[in-house]
């Protein structure tokens, strides 16, 4: 079955700093997605990351706060910039294989203090 390796699995960061989360997939995929899951809330889509183009951000999310890289078809990073305690959340990456084969990373649990 498809595999996404996501790291770090968790981190505790000081406010004002930045954290980069990495996702490595086991085969080439066109589309990757980044989600945030705040405590007690749904998975909210941050952006769609396609290789060779700028990421497409959802309403309420901006590139300056959540820059995304997609250097090739098997890798993507999400940076959470200038963090505040409100950024404490679980961040998940996902990819799409075929019409409906979504695979998810194991998540990064971020705590900002």
Nearer to another protein, 14 or 41 (CB): 41
Q: How far is the CB of 45 from another protein (least distance, A)?
A: 6
CA angle at 76 for the pair 36 and 58, rounded to the nearest 5°: 40
Q: Which of residues 3-62 bind another protein (CB under 8 A)?
A: 4, 31, 33, 35, 40-45, 48
Q: How far is the CB of 50 from another protein (least distance, A)?
A: 10
User: Residues in contact with another protein, total (CB under 8 A)?
Assistant: 21
Distance between CA 31 and CA 10 in Å, rounded?
Answer: 24
Sketch the per residue contact string, 70 through 109, with another protein: x for CB under 8 A, - otherwise: ----------------------x-x-x--xx-xxxxx---
């Amino acid at each position: 079955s498809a595999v996404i390796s996501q790291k770090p699995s968790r981190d505790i960061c000081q406010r004002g700093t930045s954290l980069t989360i990495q996702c490595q997939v086991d085969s080439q995929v066109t589309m990757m997605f980044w989600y945030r899951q705040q405590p007690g809330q749904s998975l909210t889509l941050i952006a769609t990351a396609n290789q060779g183009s700028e990421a497409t951000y959802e309403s309420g999310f901006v590139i300056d706060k959540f820059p995304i890289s997609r250097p090739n078809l098997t890798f993507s990073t999400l940076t959470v910039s200038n963090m505040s305690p409100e950024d404490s959340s679980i961040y998940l990456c996902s990819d799409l294989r075929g019409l409906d084969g979504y695979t998810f990373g194991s998540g990064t649990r971020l705590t900002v203090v």
